[in-house]
């Protein structure tokens, strides 16, 4: 992948020029779908954008020392990581990439969660620290399933290159991995039934309790970009291989939108689980998925 292609993917599509408006749109879809299922009107179409602009115009609480500097730094790192993850998605045919870019994508997808954990502990708030502790426990739990799913798909094709994985034909291992990733997305995106770190009724906004103004706006943007990156990963794995660039882009957007709707429906139909129930759920999923992944791998090995 040359420099021009890399810049086009990062800055235009599926990068910032597409990802930022898509982030606000996905946040609106999630809020609107949940509201409609609960019998409410929900926010207007432009509300996530208006919220972002409003936060940019507000003041940030004065902070001093290293802790204050770190609190400003964490949301910027989270936004950069989420934007980088979106830019790595192999949406267009022959979009390039490099060996091992899947590993970089996984690292970038995990950075926002690590920043949230660090932000809560840097805030000095008891609510922030509780939220960060929950985020850490949740991250350890679902990442076992998430990483096992990705590694299983990659191992079945003997490659860690995203473009090669996006061209995979439909197979039991591929669909098993996609389902496992979908199971992890509610926890990664902090929506019901796994919205533990930011449970407003219990710990206000968790790690975000001490944030306001432009810093909080960056966290909201980071969250929206995580929606684009996470749903886009599922879309690139589930989409058929297409040679027309405009059709590939259209299918990518449609599948991402479908995943957002699916997760929104699940969030509206479920209640928040306790932390011990969540951890037990993901560890049980790990055992089930490990058995199914090994069985599928042995089946395909003997079949070939």
State the pLDDT at residue 151. 84
Question: Within a domain: residue 304?
Answer: no
Is residue 217 a part of any domain in this protein?
Answer: yes
Q: Inform me whether the pLDDT recorded for 1 exceeds 90.
A: no
| Mean pLDDT computed over 272-295 | 81
Q: Is 51 helix (H, G, I), strand (E, B) or coil?
A: helix
C-alpha distances in angstroms, 286 versus 79, 108, 232, 294, 298? 29, 22, 23, 12, 18
pLDDT per position as a tens digit, 103-118: 999 999 999 999 999 9
**Domain residues for 185?**
3-299
In this prediction, residue 214 has a pLDDT band, given cuts at 50, 70 and 90, of very high
- More reliable by pLDDT, 265 or 92: 265
Instruction: Please indicate, yes or no, if residue 87 is contained in any of the structural domains.
Output: yes
What SS3 class is residue 54? helix
- The mean-pLDDT minimum among 58-62, 247-251, 261-265 falls in 58-62
Quickly state the pLDDT bin for 177 (edges 50, 70, 90): confident
Percentage, residues of the chain above pLDDT 90: 40
Pairwise CA distance, residues 109 & 212, whole Å: 24
- Look at residue 203 and tell me whether its pLDDT is greater than 60: no
The mean pLDDT of the chain is 86
In a domain, 39, yes or no: yes
pLDDT for 176: 84
CA pair distance 117, 67, nearest whole angstrom? 14
Query: pTM of the full predicted structure?
Result: 0.91
Residue 55 lies in a domain: yes
The arithmetic mean of pLDDT across residues 190-219, rounded, is: 80
Residue 286: is its pLDDT beyond 70? yes
Residue 197 within a domain:
yes
pLDDT computed for residue 27 by the predictor: 95
Tell me whether residue 219 is in a domain: yes
Q: What is the pLDDT of residue 303?
A: 63
Give me the pLDDT at residue 202, please: 61
The count of domains in the chain is 1
Q: What is the pLDDT of residue 199?
A: 61
The pLDDT of residue 156 is above 90: no
Residue 42, SS3 per DSSP: coil
Q: Indicate the burial class of 44 (C-beta count within 10 angstroms; 0-12, 13-18, 19 or more).
A: exposed
Report, as an integer, the average pLDDT of 195-202: 67
| Residue 260: pLDDT over 90 | yes
In the structure, what pLDDT confidence band is assigned to residue 96 with cuts at 50, 70 and 90? low
The confidence score (pLDDT) of residue 304 equals 58
């Amino acid at each position: 992948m040359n420099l021009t292609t890399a810049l086009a993917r990062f800055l235009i599509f599926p990068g910032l020029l597409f990802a930022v408006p898509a982030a606000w749109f996905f946040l609106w879809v999630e809020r609107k779908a949940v509201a409609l299922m609960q019998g409410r009107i929900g926010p207007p179409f432009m509300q996530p954008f208006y919220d972002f602009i409003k936060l940019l115009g507000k003041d940030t609480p004065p902070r001093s020392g290293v802790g204050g500097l770190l609190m400003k730094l964490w949301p910027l790192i989270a936004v950069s990581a989420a934007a980088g993850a979106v830019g790595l998605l192999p949406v267009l045919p022959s979009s390039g990439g490099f060996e091992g870019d899947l590993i970089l994508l996984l690292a970038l997808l995990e950075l926002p969660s690590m920043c949230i954990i660090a932000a809560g502990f840097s805030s000095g708030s008891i609510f922030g620290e509780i939220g960060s502790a929950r985020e850490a426990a949740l991250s350890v739990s679902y990442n076992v399933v998430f990483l096992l799913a990705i590694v299983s798909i990659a191992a079945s094709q003997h490659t860690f290159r995203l473009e090669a994985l996006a061209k995979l034909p439909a197979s039991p291992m591929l669909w098993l991995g996609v389902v496992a990733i979908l199971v992890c997305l509610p926890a990664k995106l902090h929506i019901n039934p796994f919205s533990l770190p930011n449970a407003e009724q219990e710990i206000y906004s968790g790690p975000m309790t001490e944030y306001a103004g432009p810093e909080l706006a960056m966290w909201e943007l980071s969250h929206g970009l995580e929606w684009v990156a996470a749903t886009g990963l599922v879309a690139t794995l589930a989409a058929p291989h297409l040679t027309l660039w405009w059709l590939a882009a259209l299918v990518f957007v449609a599948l991402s939108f479908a995943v957002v709707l699916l997760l929104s429906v699940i969030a509206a139909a479920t209640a928040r689980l306790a932390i011990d129930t969540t951890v037990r759920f993901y560890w049980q999923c790990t055992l089930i998925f490990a058995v199914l992944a090994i069985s599928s791998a042995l089946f395909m090995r003997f079949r070939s």
